[in-house]
Amino acid sequence: MFYYFILAFQGFCIFHLIKNRNEYYWLFLIIFVPVIGCVFYLITQVYSKNRANKIQENLTSIIVPSKKINELKKQLEFSETYQNKVNLANAYVEIKDYKNAISYYEEASKDTSQKTYHCKEQLVVCYYHIENYDLVISEAEKIKQNIEFEKSDAQYIYALALKNKGRYREAETELRKIDQRYSNYDKRLVFAKFLIEQNKKTEAKEVLTEMFNEAKHMKPSNKRINRSVFVEVEKLLKTM
């Protein structure tokens, strides 16, 4: 059994070597010193290079956005289409330049020949980030009848804006729509905290208990993703 494992390990390393055109002296190490050679190859040529690629991607994400935006601006200057405006606005969102994003989303949303739901949904998000809650509410109410709005990030942000404006009953109505089993864990935690703030501790405990019970039946990978949420859920339940 161990023999077949070594063969498979060698096969993977040789395949990776050929595919990535690494130096062929590794081939001799993999073949003639099977386990040690394969492990050494895996650490230096697979793991380390993957880490280096991630670092390079992070650096690129800092440098490239301005280049990407300049290219998109040129495209828009050449052709002032709806999609070019949206593409530029999306690029500004990526670098968290919400004010510039807003100007292009607003311009694009004036195009009555297009389905502008995406623009208006993004405006809800951008207005929230610049803390203009009145415009969040105004824009959200233009699209809240759309089926895509239900249980979306825009609906959640709309609820938060209502809360920030002191419209607690309306905020609760929207947050309840997002309280769906086996999903939206971070948002449901916010909802539970909102209920606690409104002195509705019994209802908050029901939401938290439901989340706590769901975590028991969750796949380990999904549980890891939401670990920080469930840790806080458990802490809150202990205080209630």
- pLDDT tens digits, one per residue of 169-218: 999 999 999 998 888 999 999 999 999 999 999 999 999 999 999 988 88
Does the pLDDT value for residue 57 go beyond 60? no
Does the pLDDT value for residue 126 go beyond 90? yes
Does the pLDDT value for residue 54 go beyond 60? no
Does the pLDDT value for residue 59 go beyond 70? no
Instruction: Tell me the pLDDT band of 52, cut-offs 50, 70 and 90.
Output: very low
Q: Where are the domains of the chain?
A: 21-75, 79-175, 179-240
What is the pLDDT averaged over residues 226-230? 90
* CA–CA distance, 211 with 206 (Å, rounded to integer): 9
Tell the residue number behind the tokens 């089926």, with chain if given: 147
Q: Was domain 79-175 assigned CATH 2.60.120.1440? A: no
Mean pLDDT for all residues in the chain: 83
Contacts 24+ apart (CB under 8 A), 170-179: 172/198, 177/150, 177/151, 178/151, 179/207
Tokens of 99: 């004010």
Decide: 153 and 122 in contact? Cβ < 8 Å: no
Among the residue ranges 22-36, 90-104, 150-164, 189-203, the one predicted with the least confidence is: 22-36
pLDDT for res 69: 87
* CA–CA distance, 116 with 1 (Å, rounded to integer): 60
* CA–CA distance, 232 with 240 (Å, rounded to integer): 13
For residues 140 and 222, the model is more confident at 140
pTM for the model:
0.71
Among the residue ranges 37-51, 170-184, 215-229, the one predicted with the least confidence is: 37-51
What is the pLDDT averaged over residues 67-72? 86
Does the pLDDT value for residue 13 go beyond 70? no
pLDDT for res 34: 65
Tokens of 38: 């394969």
Does the pLDDT value for residue 56 go beyond 50? no
Decide: 141 and 120 in contact? Cβ < 8 Å: no
pLDDT for res 168: 97
Q: For 95-123, how does the pLDDT look when each residue is reduced to its tens digit (9 = 90+)?
A: 899 999 999 999 999 888 888 899 999 99
